[in-house]
Structure 1
């Protein structure tokens, strides 16, 4: 497990890194490394280059700039864990909306951080897999709507039956080596879509 710690307070970052090194057994096979991001460097660029398994952001108190900071990290498709010293329910909601998958108050009071890290990564992977499935389902539905719309156009315009319209689209897709949905999109977008003839 490769961990990147981001904290504007170097002493606090070193303390957290030392705790993680002890609790997670840093240096052992399969564990990876723990790195502290230099506070004056662009964290989003470091995340993009390093691609750690998780980013831990530790801060004393919430502010609006912090939200943008968190959002820029999460945009790199990276699980983000947030430790904060002062509880702020409103900020917690905003942080989660910004991409934080695990939010905790007072890191020093947590006895064992390792299970929290594992659960944060697992939650992130689960959410990512769900998002991929949802995007695929939405894309499939969008394709189906395009194909159905193109078939309705052919049925209305050229007096085709539904099976004939479907075969027409399939034939065009094979001839042009295009996806069926792309053929349907081209047919519906053609300026002459309302006229009779050989299109797509």
Structure 2
């Protein structure tokens, strides 16, 4: 998907992208609803060509990056350090200053895709680790509740919690959270 307010600049992308085997599935302006366009066209990569990204464009990109993540390449004619930092925080994968140069387009897109995939893998791993830590914390807390209320030792409390999870077809962490929630109600 190509995002550009200048029809002549948008047209300049067409031939180099087609030569690389890419297809422009949508061409929109920076004032368009980028989230809706991404939902509608499901692009593999978002290319943005602007003189300098404004706050609204960066906010729209941030929403897209959070809700429909994909590689984002931003071409800018001019920029400053703070704008680059805001763009990266908004989810821009590659920030290229001095506009489009067709010979550089293929490696720029490849690097953006590779960086996006690496970042996405790290984010997934981080979320999985956070969930495991939360599960471990909640399991320990639930075992503590069972040990105190039923006067059990730790292995017996763990076995009881595990049996509760199996009976309800829940993950152990989810069963622990359910037990904690029920205990808080009482």
Give the direction of change, closer, same or farther, for the CA distance of 1:188–1:45 in structure 2 (3 Å limit): same
Counterpart in 1 of 2:7? Answer: 10
Return the offset for 1:41: 4.3
* 1:148 aligned residue (140, 161, 180): 140
Please show how residues 33-182 of structure 1 align to structure 2 within 5 Å: 33-39=23-29, 41-74=32-65, 75-109=67-101, 111-182=103-174
Where structure 2 has 5 or more consecutive residues not aligned to the other structure, the ranges are: none
Give the direction of change, closer, same or farther, for the CA distance of 1:6–1:65 in structure 2 (3 Å limit): same
Give the direction of change, closer, same or farther, for the CA distance of 1:97–1:41 in structure 2 (3 Å limit): closer
- Whether the aligned pair in 2 keeps the contact of 1:37 and 1:43 (CA below 8 Å) is no
Return the offset for 1:193: 7.4
Where structure 1 has 5 or more consecutive residues not aligned to the other structure, the ranges are: 27-31, 195-200
- Whether the aligned pair in 1 keeps the contact of 2:142 and 2:179 (CA below 8 Å) is yes
Give the direction of change, closer, same or farther, for the CA distance of 1:14–1:153 in structure 2 (3 Å limit): same
What TM-score results when the alignment is normalised by the length of structure 2?
A: 0.89
Query: What is the rounded CA distance, in whole Å, between the counterparts of 1:5 and 1:21 in structure 2?
Result: 13
- Whether the aligned pair in 2 keeps the contact of 1:83 and 1:106 (CA below 8 Å) is yes
Return the offset for 1:108: 3.5
SS at match of 2:104: coil
Query: What is the rounded CA distance, in whole Å, between the counterparts of 2:28 and 2:146 in structure 1?
Result: 62
Q: Does residue 20 of structure 1 match 2:17?
A: yes
Return the offset for 1:20: 2.5
Root mean square deviation of aligned Cα? 2.0
- Whether the aligned pair in 1 keeps the contact of 2:4 and 2:48 (CA below 8 Å) is yes
Query: What is the rounded CA distance, in whole Å, between the counterparts of 2:184 and 2:97 in structure 1?
Result: 62
Number of residue equivalences: 184
Counterpart in 2 of 1:197? Answer: none
Query: What is the rounded CA distance, in whole Å, between the counterparts of 1:173 and 1:151 in structure 2?
Result: 13
Structure 1 or 2, whichever has the larger Rg, is 1
